[in-house]
Amino acid sequence: MDSKRLKDIRGLTDRRIDALLTLLSENSTIVVSGTKIAKEIGVSKDTVWRWVQKLRALGVGVNGHPSKGYHIARIPDILAPKLISRRLLNTPYWKRIYHFFKVESTNDIAMQLGEEGEAHGAIVLAEEQTKGRGRAGRAWTSEKSSGIYCSVLLRPQISPSQASLLTLVAGLAARDAVAEELHATPDIRWPNDLLVGGKKFCGILTEMHAEPDRVNYAVVGIGINVNQSRLPAEIAGVATSLRLESGHNHSRLEILIRLLRHLDRYYNQFLTDGPQPIVRRFAEVSSYFQGKRVRITTATESFVGTTAGLELSGVLRVARDDGRVEPVISGDVVEA
Ligand code: BTN
């Protein structure tokens, strides 16, 4: 993507703030003078001070002041591109990471990038979303610096009918990324909800631009509730965060890196070996795959049945009580 278009993306984090964060993180044991920082990242000492204040407002523990220099107590949990890209060198994601402090929706930006011809593997990250979107027109609560709000631009050579498998691929990746953070095993509720103790902490919104026979580009948007210490009253009964489950904070940076590595692995497996291994893995890790009593709500009806596996297109099969097996292409699933 050329730099002119890049400049048009309002709110993109200044690469020099990213450089400031990296510099402080790499020198976390020493005090770095404001003059040295200013020189290295190419801004005035006043700007360094302003940006330090901005980072503090985001919870980054920067000690010191302009005359003494600055010092960071520990690697900050900001999803800064420079800190991420060096950990993803063997994936397609390291090259184009778009970071925002505040954005309406990372999916919107990623769709815009797709439209403008940005390459496969571009990542859009935000510390906060003001209009985070969920499935079926719902909102996704995206409080500042406590969750992971990530959209991935993909250009798979698949037909639109296979696109729902991308959601499964992303769900499996997110599941593996958080599994080691929790004592309880996370579950996947078809097609895209990650649950722990029956409550949702991660959702995936896949959107695409397609022609009848091929996908031009797809955006997989992943939201994970990580360090929220409370959730809005209207969702608190059905939603949770990793922190609420474990009682301590988790590193968003580490979870995101694992998420993208697993995503790369499952995505390549899907393109190379087709849907079978993805569906097989889903069967291993989701209690919703088979034999679960569920209520299905689609655009046209609501009914109770028992799950009966997935088709290779990712469609859920549900056996009605009269024995008829219904393919569910999209809809809400809850345990009945
Ligand atoms: C759902 O479960 O309804 C899907 C939620 C998806 C939320 C993510 S957060 C990053 C990306 N940007 C958005 O606006 N939505 C997705």
Q: Is there an atom of ligand 1 within 6 Å of 134 CB? A: yes
DSSP character at residue 162: G
- Cα of 192 from ligand 1 centre, angstroms: 10
Return the closest-CA partner of residue 332 out of 167, 193, 139. 193
- Cα of 204 from ligand 1 centre, angstroms: 5
- Cα of 271 from ligand 1 centre, angstroms: 24
Nearest CA to ligand 1 atom 10: 149
Residue 108 contacts residue 140 (beta carbons within 8 Å): no
Q: Is there an atom of ligand 1 within 6 Å of 205 CB? A: yes
Residue 174 contacts residue 202 (beta carbons within 8 Å): yes
Residue with tokens 């900001």: 78
DSSP codes, 87-148: T-TTSTTSS-EEEESSBS-HHHHHHHHHHTTPPTT-EEEES-BSS-B-GGG-B----TTTEE
Residue 175 contacts residue 285 (beta carbons within 8 Å): yes
Q: For the whole prediction, is pTM greater than 0.85?
A: yes
Q: Is there an atom of ligand 1 within 6 Å of 201 CB? A: no
pLDDT per position in the chain (336 positions), as tens?
444 454 457 788 888 888 998 888 888 778 999 999 999 999 999 999 999 988 888 778 898 888 889 988 777 788 989 989 999 999 999 999 999 999 999 999 999 999 999 999 999 999 999 999 999 889 999 999 899 999 999 999 999 999 999 999 999 999 999 998 998 899 999 998 999 999 999 999 999 999 999 999 999 999 999 999 999 999 999 999 999 999 999 999 999 999 999 999 999 999 999 999 999 999 999 999 999 999 999 989 999 999 999 999 999 999 999 999 999 998 899 999
- Cα of 263 from ligand 1 centre, angstroms: 16
Q: Is there an atom of ligand 1 within 6 Å of 262 CB? A: no
